[in-house]
Structure 1
């Protein structure tokens, strides 16, 4: 927790003609997840994100799944990203950077992030199948893009090698979680300063 002991948490909601999403996020959590999006595989990935980032996440989402899973997936990424940005505030005292190589059986992924206030996604991932269960694998990029854009983070995600689509997706979400865990940790040597020569990480 930051030097001022203010809890790093946020609660947000977003309602459109396509979806309704409610998120509660606690940065300094224990990895608890309470997730219901109507998309089983996305729920599984968000459970992994919470557990490995040690961020508590509650997500309740309903959407036009009779159309497809695109709107719900993207909007969950949007609101989770916004919640993280709000919870981090000025981003004072954080480590800021995080990176990890994450193995999952035959798969190895690399995820690196900068909690910079400047959103950017580099995505070097190819899935061998079009679906994981009922979920289109192309929606993985949509979620990562929405999350990075709204969290205000620079995010590089790359699958170095892998053969199983489930393993690739899981290694990417776990990699993001572990990189986030590093980057949002409080650095006592910063003594509450914003880790930037500009004095700001708000873009």
Structure 2
């Protein structure tokens, strides 16, 4: 019975009553037995949540690596690569900034830009949410404060390290953090092409 409860991860009232009866029959303290099971279930749930967070972080990092490799190191310098580490509500300022801050170095001139990477495995329905409202507002504020363009590079489908589709969304053009699928056409990027910044129009293509 105890192993069955651990296997499905749920302790129902019926199972709790049965365990209580078994413990009494065997001369054991039923409260200790039930509390022990509840503790083990809670620890198991926390481990599963940690595994899910780890998977999401790995996917995010995998897509970031995919994206950064599309910026030719001959022309682009990585000025900052933000991390998402935090503890007890404390985190670095860069945690809320776009993933990459880069500079295009061309003919002795430097042109800064920032990129946020987002990957979605299998969007459902006709709309795709590429960020939450708070994130979009932060990226807009960052672009205004730093006075250089910020782009969201969105990967769709496939694997994070090898997406099926790729889109470049200029933050200054976005009013919502969710778009209809039909609106993404003009932002489409060939999956096998490198990125380059048109410094005159501040367009990443």
TM-score (norm 1): 0.29
Q: Which has the higher contact order (CA 8 A, sep 6+)?
A: 1
- Give the structure with the higher percent helix: 2
Which has the greater radius of gyration? 2
TM-score (norm 2): 0.29
